[in-house]
Amino acid sequence: MDRHLSHSFQISPANMSIFSVLTLMSGVVLYERLFVPFIRRFTKNPSGITTLQRMGIGFVINTIATLISAPVEVKRKAVAAKYHLLDSPNSTIPISVFWLVPQYCLHGLADVFMSVGLFEFLYDQSPESMRSSATALYCIVIALGSYAGTLVVSLVHKYSGKEENWLPDRNLNRGRLDYYYLLVTGIQVLNIIYFGICVWFYT
């Protein structure tokens, strides 16, 4: 298999998500079998760490995954410039698609902590009669996050300028997707701070 993308072999972002899924599936097993017994020695907590701590770790890993997306995008554009493809948005840039693997794996690892931790928190902290509602609330939170992400994309596209739009309609090679990743990283950092405040006052 050629390690570079070509017109005859391409992996779409949808296909790359398999790395997130595999990391999530293997990570859940390793979390229960290795991480919890190890960390339990220090915390004396039967679960290893609390659900709130688990979510916090997930937020941090997710932020790191977004942060490393920025230099990968810079690398992609540098290769496009090297081969004079900046103004050829439909051309395949000769760069290995596996540059994307670390960020997809980190997002999967973040879900091991964040998404699973959130579900456990809602299920554990709700009365037995409301556990079905807690599951529904989990789904609502995920949906709201998706809508919030769409809103951020729309606002960035609208207000980042016409000449040097970060997310242009026709040619992403002339955009500044790396700036967008850094912006999202900043938002995630603020979210971690807000989460920490909520945890501090939670009883």
**Taking 90 as the threshold, does the pLDDT of residue 122 lie above it?**
no
Mean pLDDT highest for which of 62-71, 83-92, 153-162? Answer: 62-71
Domains and CATH numbers, the chain: 13-201 (1.20.1250.20)
Q: Which residues contact 3 (CB under 8 A, 6 or more apart)?
A: 96, 98
**135 CB burial (10 A radius; 0-12, 13-18, 19+):** middle
Angle between helices 101-125 and 13-30 (to 10 degrees): 50
Residue 168, token pair as written in the block:
């242009």
Which residue from 81, 105, 108 is spatially nearest to 95, judged by alpha carbons? Answer: 81
CA distance linking residue 36 with residue 53, whole number of Å: 13
- Distance between start and end Cα atoms, the chain: 54
Q: pLDDT tens digit string along 30-43?
A: 999 999 999 999 98
**Taking 60 as the threshold, does the pLDDT of residue 12 lie above it?**
no
CB 152 within 8 A of CB 167: no
CA distance linking residue 44 with residue 160, whole number of Å: 50
Of 20-24, 126-130, 147-151, 154-158, the range with the lowest mean pLDDT is 126-130
- 18, 170, 172 from 98: Cα distances, Å: 12, 25, 19
**Taking 50 as the threshold, does the pLDDT of residue 157 lie above it?**
yes
CB 35 within 8 A of CB 48: yes
The fraction of the chain above a pLDDT of 70, given in percent, is 93
**154 CB burial (10 A radius; 0-12, 13-18, 19+):** exposed
Residue 174, token pair as written in the block:
């002339």
CA distance linking residue 66 with residue 182, whole number of Å: 8
**What is the pLDDT, as a whole number, of residue 169?**
83
**What is the pLDDT, as a whole number, of residue 57?**
95
Band (pLDDT 50/70/90 cuts) for residue 78 is: very high
Q: What is the mean pLDDT of residues 149-174?
A: 87
pTM of the predicted protein model: 0.85
